[in-house]
Structure 1
Amino acid sequence: MAMSGGRDDGEPMNEMNTTPLIDVMLVLLIMFIITIPIQTHAVKIDLPQTPKNPTTTVEPTKNKIFIDANGNVFWNSQQVDDITLQQYLEATKSIDPEPELHFQPAPDAKYDKVDHVLAIVKRANVTKLGFVGNDQYQGVF
């Protein structure tokens, strides 16, 4: 920044020197930017862990839960209620090896119903869970 000198007649300057003020403000701005916490956008989801040594190479049976737009829950294309769904999930825990569970909500299904069914699945301690049909959401978000 240019500094103006006094006039030739030796009188003092009437203008305030703003260079130190601007320097202090820039330092404070940089310190403020550095101290802002980093924003992390993450959703915590408990995903099933895969075993380090797979015990069998046999492909287990697969079960599918589907939720339609009206909030109806289907187990392998058969409509079920919450209690029946919980019983089916408990029955799959006794099968060795545990069958995979494919979860597919309709794109226009209510979030509350999807969350409710996922809570039932979590309470049943299902360890093999997969979300299928995610390609139908391509370009929605």
Structure 2
Amino acid sequence: MAFALRKHDSEFDAPPMSDMNVTPLVDVMLVLLIVFMVAAPLMAAGVPVDLPKTQAKPLVDQKQPIAVSITGEGKLFVDQREVAADELILVLGENADSKERRIHVRGDKTIAYGKVIEVMGLINSAGYTKVALVSESASSSAQGAPPTATR
């Protein structure tokens, strides 16, 4: 605790005041906050498990995904067929046997981002849940590898 003492003897001086110094308290709280912020992600890592090895092949869908492409001019294509924006859901219904069919949206890099999101929202609002964006990594374009889909 800190005390404010009188500087000289005088009849009109106020009595000594006692104030609590909160600076060390704030320092300790900030250190504890930083420690918990660093330690929290480590606690959420889960239980370490040594998984067994297997010779099984990864599961593969037998059906190819439906490709919805948006060209630089804003034209829509379902696989190789050009469609209007208002016909997109009808054509997807003809090509997909269920709403669980994978749909890959391929947007030209010169097209506005909003147009791609608009098409994805239209597909999603029709009930299709497995919609993914297709991109090409820098290493795959040099080696001729196929583009990858991301969700």
TM-score, normalised via structure 2 length: 0.47
Higher strand share: 2
Q: Whose relative contact order is higher, 1 or 2, with alpha carbons under 8 Å and at least 6 apart? A: 1
